[in-house]
């Protein structure tokens, strides 16, 4: 009888709780090491001492954008100290301030074409110089050439009642074609008027629409009437337009209120009161009456009595 000298038996691998735990711990440790290495490669970001700001403002139909950094006063004497008088200043911190306009503007008495510029200033005790340069790569006023300068505007500084901690560039007193552009920091405020040619654009657009002979929507007649009222321009025509708007949208309380304003400016007090009362009637008929608008109409009525 032949016998096999060796008998082979297949042995299945045994997975114990101990070996599984060791395996899981090994994987976790490797992941932690990998995470640590990745974290070491990450860039740590710190807050800037002078925060970056991007200001966007529409003046009439012209968009103006200012990109600048905003340093703090930090108990320092700013103008005449930290920022010397009669020397060029980048007008902010970190990088030169940039200003962009979508259309031509007039700053003070200087015309500035649409485009992007670097804004420099030369602070003075009694007068500031505001400079627009088309050299966008220059880091200081000294880096630019004379032909890079687009405009140089003079402005009178004012003294603030309370110090402004953070340097601020802003716009206020916004009108249909103008605004006050200002710089403000510490005890100093430097305002200068900025104007656009948007009134001419709007007037030309209205004229073209009317001359086309095509019927317009209620919104066009209402907006045209509002524009003429704001500009104190041909009020009888403004009244005709607001009546056309009301004919197309008789339930619009704000159109009746606009009619009341036009009539009041024309000196027709009785008719203005009737239109204001009609605006209140329409407001009160709404499911949720606008009490603020009602109060506005009532105030107009009281002013006419």
Residue with tokens 């009546």: 243
- Alpha-carbon distance 3 to 7, whole Å? 10
Q: What per-residue confidence (pLDDT) applies to 302? A: 96
* Domain boundaries, position 95: 51-196
The domain tally of the chain equals 2
Whether residues 190 and 114 share a domain: the answer is yes
Whether residues 269 and 146 share a domain: the answer is no
> Residue 120: helix, strand or coil by DSSP?
strand
| Residues ≥6 apart with Cβ < 8 Å to 202 | 61, 176, 227
Residue with tokens 């440790």: 29
- pLDDT at position 38 over 90: no
End-of-domain residue from the set 163, 196, 229: 196
Q: What are the pLDDT digits (tens) for 174-206? A: 998 999 999 999 999 999 999 999 998 899 999
| Residues ≥6 apart with Cβ < 8 Å to 264 | 272, 300, 303, 304
| First-last CA distance in the chain | 135
Whether residues 212 and 182 share a domain: the answer is no
Whether residues 155 and 227 share a domain: the answer is no
Residue with tokens 């911190």: 93
CATH number at residue 243: 1.25.40.10
Whether residues 151 and 211 share a domain: the answer is no
User: What's the predicted TM-score (pTM) here?
Assistant: 0.75
End-of-domain residue from the set 196, 215, 232: 196
Domain membership flag for residue 279: yes
Whether residues 138 and 208 share a domain: the answer is no
- Alpha-carbon distance 118 to 112, whole Å? 12
- Alpha-carbon distance 274 to 281, whole Å? 10
- Alpha-carbon distance 196 to 178, whole Å? 6
Query: What percent of the chain is predicted at pLDDT more than 90?
Result: 77
> Residue 28: helix, strand or coil by DSSP?
helix
Domain membership flag for residue 13: no
End-of-domain residue from the set 145, 172, 196: 196
| Residues ≥6 apart with Cβ < 8 Å to 223 | none
Whether residues 65 and 191 share a domain: the answer is yes
Is residue 290 within 8 Å of 254, Cβ to Cβ? no
User: Model confidence at 282, in pLDDT bands (50, 70, 90)?
Assistant: very high
Whether residues 213 and 184 share a domain: the answer is no
Whether residues 189 and 68 share a domain: the answer is yes
Whether residues 113 and 233 share a domain: the answer is no
Whether residues 100 and 58 share a domain: the answer is yes
Domain membership flag for residue 19: no
- pLDDT at position 107 over 70: yes
- pLDDT at position 258 over 50: yes
Whether residues 172 and 57 share a domain: the answer is yes
């Amino acid at each position: 009888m032949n016998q096999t000298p060796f008998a082979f038996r297949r042995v299945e691998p045994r997975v114990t709780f101990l070996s599984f735990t060791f395996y899981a711990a090994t994987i976790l440790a490797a992941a932690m090491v990998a995470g640590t290495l990745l974290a070491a490669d990450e860039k740590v970001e710190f807050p800037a001492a002078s925060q970056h700001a991007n200001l966007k403002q529409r003046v009439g139909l012209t968009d103006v954008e200012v990109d600048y950094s905003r340093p703090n006063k930090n108990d320092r004497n700013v103008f005449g100290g930290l920022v010397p008088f009669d020397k060029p200043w980048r007008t902010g911190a970190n990088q030169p301030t940039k200003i962009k306009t979508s259309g031509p503007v007039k700053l003070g008495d200087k015309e500035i074409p649409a485009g992007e510029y670097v804004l420099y200033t030369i602070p003075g005790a009694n007068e500031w110089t505001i400079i627009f340069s088309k050299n966008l790569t220059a880091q200081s006023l000294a880096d630019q050439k004379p032909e890079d300068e687009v405009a140089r505007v003079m402005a009178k500084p004012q003294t603030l009642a309370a110090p402004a901690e953070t340097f601020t560039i802003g716009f206020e007193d916004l009108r249909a074609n103008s605004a006050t552009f200002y710089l403000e920091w510490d005890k100093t405020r430097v305002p200068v008027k900025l104007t656009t040619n948007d009134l001419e654009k709007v007037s030309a657009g209205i004229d073209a629409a009317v001359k086309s002979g095509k019927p317009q929507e209620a919104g066009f007649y209402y907006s045209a009437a509002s524009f003429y009222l704001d500009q104190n321009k041909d009020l009888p025509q403004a009244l005709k337009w607001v009546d056309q708007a009301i004919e197309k949208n008789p339930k619009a309380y704000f159109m009746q209120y606009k009619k009341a304003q036009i009539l009041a400016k024309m000196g027709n007090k009785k008719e203005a009161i009737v239109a204001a009362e009609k605006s209140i009637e329409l407001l009160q008929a709404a499911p949720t009456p606008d009490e603020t608008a009602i109060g506005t109409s009532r105030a107009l009525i009281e002013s006419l009595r």
